Amino acid sequence: DAGVIQSPRHEVTEMGQEVTLRCKPISGHDYLFWYRQTMMRGLELLIYFNNNVPIDDSGMPEDRFSAKMPNASFSTLKIQPSEPRDSAVYFCASSLARLRTGGGEQFFGPGTRLTVL
């Protein structure tokens, strides 16, 4: 398997622009997670999906952030409008249901480094 795939790997945009980050989870995984990582705040969970349904979006910082998972193999995280404080590395991760593995470990993508000028 190719692992979790994210695109783009790097994104530079100007304040006010719309940004869309993309993720393809590992085939067959039940869960998909979006994280944000910054030096100041560390690793933060933004939202997660189970079987394409959003379960917990309490980590989404503002209404400017939205996430969708239209099917089992694709998810997007959108920021509109973007602001400089959104600059961070955004990770997507996927996992099998814990009941199926006994562990619940997550597999991370390489991340998208977002810079908002």
Contact string (CB under 8 A) for other proteins, positions 14-33, x = contact: ----------------xx-x
Give the shortest CB-113-to-other proteins separation in angstroms: 9
DSSP 31-84: EEEEEEEETTTEEEEEEEEETTEEEE-TT--STTEEEEEEETTEEEEEESS--G
What gap in Å lies between CA 1 and CA 108, rounded to an integer? 13
Backbone angles phi, psi at 86, to 5 degrees: -80, -5
55 scored as a contact of other proteins (CB under 8 A)? yes
Give the shortest CB-79-to-other proteins separation in angstroms: 19
Rank residues 49 and 65 by Cβ distance to other proteins and give the closer one: 49
Interface residues toward other proteins, by CB under 8 A = 4, 30-31, 33, 42-43, 45, 48, 50, 55-56, 91, 93, 95-98, 102-111
